[in-house]
Structures are given as C-alpha cells and as structure tokens.
Amino acid sequence: QKEVEQDPGPLSVPEGAIVSLNCTYSNSAFQYFMWYRQYSRKGPELLMYTYSSGNKEDGRFTAQVDKSSKYISLFIRDSQPSDSATYLCAMSLYNNNDMRFGAGTRLTVKP
Amino acid sequence: DTAVSQTPKYLVTQMGNDKSIKCEQNLGHDTMYWYKQDSKKFLKIMFSYNNKELIINETVPNRFSPKSPDKAHLNLHINSLELGDSAVYFCASSSNPGQNYGYTFGSGTRLTVV
C-alpha cells in the first residue's frame, strides 16, 4: 500500500462545476497537509496548506482534513478553464523534510 | 526574480553519458531537494540537503550524486545515463524544519536519454 493514495483521473468537468479532489493516507503521524497545482510543463506550486484537522478556505478553494479517517479533500467552487491542471496532495510529519506526494489528479475544466 | 531556478530546462543525451543539472534558490531557504517526476506525474524524493548537509538519501542508484556548494545551490550529477533515467527532475527548497510552509519548486529539467 502506498503511503499516499490519489486517484490520477483524468477528471473532466464543465465550467462552473464544483470539483472535489481527494487523497487517503496510511501514516497517522502526518500533521501537515498541502495541495499543489501543476500546470503542464511547469513545477508544482503551493495552493493550500493545512495543519492537522479542519477546514481552510481561500477564495474558491477549500481544503479539508479528516485525520480520523486519514482523508483529505480539496474543493474548487465555480471552476474555471484556468483551473485545468494536475493537482497533487502532499503531506509530511513535523520536520518538513519528508514530504510525500500523491500521484496527482489531472483536471480539465471545459468552457 | 525567479525563486528557484534550474538549468538546463531540457536535456537530450545518449545512454552512457554523464550530465549535470544545476539549481539555485534566492529565497534564503536552508533546505533543498531533488525530486524525480515520472511519466505518470508521480513525484518521488531523491535527496534532501539542509545547510549543505545531506539529510535524505532515498533509494537512488549511486550513479546519481548531489552536491551542495552552499545552501543556495544544489546540483545533481548523473553518471552513465540509462534509458530509465528519462524523467522530469525538479529542484525545490523550503524554510527551516519546524516552519512548514510547503516547498517552492523550480520549473523542472526534462531529461531524455536516447
């Protein structure tokens, strides 16, 4: 079993839809949870950052962490074609030097 | 100003050759990393350096050798390149352990071994 599991998709939605992206993990010691967005032929860029359980909202993006279920989610409201990218979940223990990434979900938002 | 810059962006080379990829960050971060991203977009850590000291060395063939002349630079040298080394290699940096604000990635080096 991989430490971090993420459905690679691809996922295709119409513009304006609500997108839900998810990851599960096996190591209950993970404390920091992140979502990265990677456009084609670019490096990943940090999108959302959450410590421990709970929700965090930033504009159209909401990150949720459920440590009891070892499950994290990213919701994108009112999705736009510019949101088309690969979204990678990532998580680490306390020391920031051991970040583990999911396989990434490729999202396409169609106009 | 580019925060994490890698050179070259593209590298096409023949099997058996030796090549190097360079990385520099101007963020003042103490920790730098090399990641390999395969064709399925899976990011796998290779090495991590903190203040020029190697702190993570995952199971990577010893043909790969990182070098950090100072905390702003982390280079990757690859000997005797093989077809399976073809991938995108990303350099990243982060602030001190305990200040977990995520990583800043470079734009990647696309290596193709023919």
Judged against a pLDDT cut of 60, whether residue B98 lies above it is answered with no
Task: Establish if B39 touches chain A: CB-CB under 8 angstroms.
Answer: no
Residues of B in contact with A86 (CB under 8 A): 41
**Phi, psi of A91, rounded to the nearest 5 degrees:** -155, 155
Residues of A in contact with B50 (CB under 8 A): 97
Q: Let me know the angle formed at the C-alpha of A30 by A41 and A97, rounded to the nearest 5 degrees.
A: 60
Percent residues over pLDDT 70 in chain B: 94
pLDDT tens digits, one per residue of B41-76 = 789 889 888 887 887 777 789 999 999 999 899 999
pLDDT tens digits, one per residue of A7-41 = 888 999 999 999 999 999 999 989 889 999 999 98
Residues of B in contact with A103 (CB under 8 A): 40-42
Query: Which residue type, as a one-letter code, is found at position A110?
Result: K
Q: What is the mean pLDDT of residues A29-54?
A: 91
Residue B99 confidence (pLDDT): 57
Burial of A5 (0-12, 13-18, 19+ CB in 10 A): middle
Are the CB atoms for B63 and B15 separated by under 8 Å?
no
**Residues 17-36, chain B, touching A (beta carbon < 8 A):** 31
Residue A96 confidence (pLDDT): 61
Q: What is the mean pLDDT of residues B104-112?
A: 95
Judged against a pLDDT cut of 60, whether residue A53 lies above it is answered with yes
Residues of B in contact with A97 (CB under 8 A): 31, 48, 50, 55-56, 94, 97
Residues of B in contact with A46 (CB under 8 A): 101-104
Instruction: Please name which of A66, A87, A85, A63 lies closest in space to residue A74, comparing C-alpha atoms.
Output: A63
For residues A44 and B43, what is the distance between their CA atoms, to the nearest angstrom? 10
Judged against a pLDDT cut of 70, whether residue B40 lies above it is answered with yes
Residue in A6, A41, A96, A107 to test binding to B, most B beta-carbons within 10 Å: A96
Higher local confidence (pLDDT), A5 or B56:
A5
Higher local confidence (pLDDT), B59 or A68:
A68
Q: Which chain B residue has its CA at the smallest distance from A6's CA?
A: B42
Residue B28 neighbours by CB under 8 Å, 6+ apart: none
pLDDT tens digits, one per residue of B16-25 = 999 999 999 9
Task: Establish if B100 touches chain A: CB-CB under 8 angstroms.
Answer: yes
For residues B28 and B51, what is the distance between their CA atoms, to the nearest angstrom? 11
Higher local confidence (pLDDT), B57 or A71:
A71
Instruction: Please name which of A79, A89, A75, A84 lies closest in space to residue A106, comparing C-alpha atoms.
Output: A84
Residue A93 confidence (pLDDT): 82
